[in-house]
Amino acid sequence: MADTSFQLKGSVVTTFILELYQYSREDFTQQLKDKISQAPEFFLQSPVVISLEKFAGENIDFLELVDVCRQFELQPMAFKAVDARFEATIKKTGLPLLSDTATRAVNNASVAPAPQKVEAESEESEYRKSKVITRPVRSGQQVYAEGGDLIILSQVSEGAEVLADGNIHIYGSLRGRALAGIKGDTSARVFCQKLDAELISVAGHFILSDSLDSALQGQAVQVYLDEQTLHVAAV
């Protein structure tokens, strides 16, 4: 029997999203050139998904758009959030159409690994607003800070749940549940003024009240992930 030739796996790859607002060949070419000249190494052979979510214009020559991208060594791999009226034209480019909810990509040998350049940081770090809550979060309530930090200037009651994609800061008692980095950010932390939590989680690693060091109960603490282990430390 022959050895297995391949295996299909679901995976998540890092790509750029090129969010198109409007298109004219000249402007687009010039602006893309300017952008890429800032960090040519970084963009070299980068896979890119073209999102039409915010595209307001009429039908354009999408094949030309793809060509322009390729001229600059970008690798358009799909279109996303495509309005029905563009579908026919886009199919001519031979690129797949992704649903607009999630950008799901199948692992592909030609996909470059996430670039490690310093410029990557500056390109990707985008300012995100924190969510600020000034009143107590009560039992049965749930507060979620999507895409950023959650700052609570009051208490989180038993039976309440606070979640954030980033860090969670609680300037009061934490008696409920706090889940930071829920989309997988392992560098996220939970800070609280007075620890009395039911559960604390960072990027899916959690700790229950039973396993909290009793010496830290009622103390100001931070909770962070290090080497897959959750640490609770006084601050």
Partner 1 sequence: MAEIIVVTSGKGGVGKTTTSAAIGSGLAIRGHKTVIIDFDVGLRNLDLIMGCERRVVYDFVNVLNQEANLNQALIKDKRNPNLYILPASQTRDKDALTQEGVQTVLNELSESFEYIICDSPAGIEKGAQMALYYADQAIVVTNPEVSSVRDSDRILGILQSKSLRAETGAEPVKEHLLLTRYNPARVEDGEMLSVEDVVEILAIPLVGVIPESEAVLKASNQGEPVIFDESADAGQAYSDTVARLLGEEVDFRFLEAGKKGFLKRLLGAR
Using CB under 8 A as the binding rule, whether residue 192 contacts partner 1 is answered as no
Q: Which residues contact 94 (CB under 8 A, 6 or more apart)?
A: none
Q: Which residues contact 154 (CB under 8 A, 6 or more apart)?
A: 133, 134, 135, 136, 137, 171, 172
Q: Select from 160, 182, 207, 221 the one that contacts partner 1 (CB under 8 A).
A: 160
| Structure-block tokens of residue 12 | 């998540």
* Number of amino acids touching partner 1 (CB under 8 A): 15
Q: How far is the CB of 152 from partner 1 (least distance, A)?
A: 12
Nearer Cβ to partner 1, position 61 or 158?
Answer: 158
Q: How far is the CB of 139 from partner 1 (least distance, A)?
A: 4
The rounded Cα 66 to chain-centroid distance in angstroms is 25
Using CB under 8 A as the binding rule, whether residue 193 contacts partner 1 is answered as no
H/E stretch holding 41: helix 40-43
Using CB under 8 A as the binding rule, whether residue 158 contacts partner 1 is answered as yes
Q: How far is the CB of 165 from partner 1 (least distance, A)?
A: 22
**Nearest 5 degrees, angle CA 38-CA 15-CA 67?**
70
Q: Select from 44, 60, 103, 136 the one that contacts partner 1 (CB under 8 A).
A: 136
Which spans of this chain sit near partner 1 (rule: CB under 8 A)?
A: 135-141, 154-155, 157-160, 173, 175
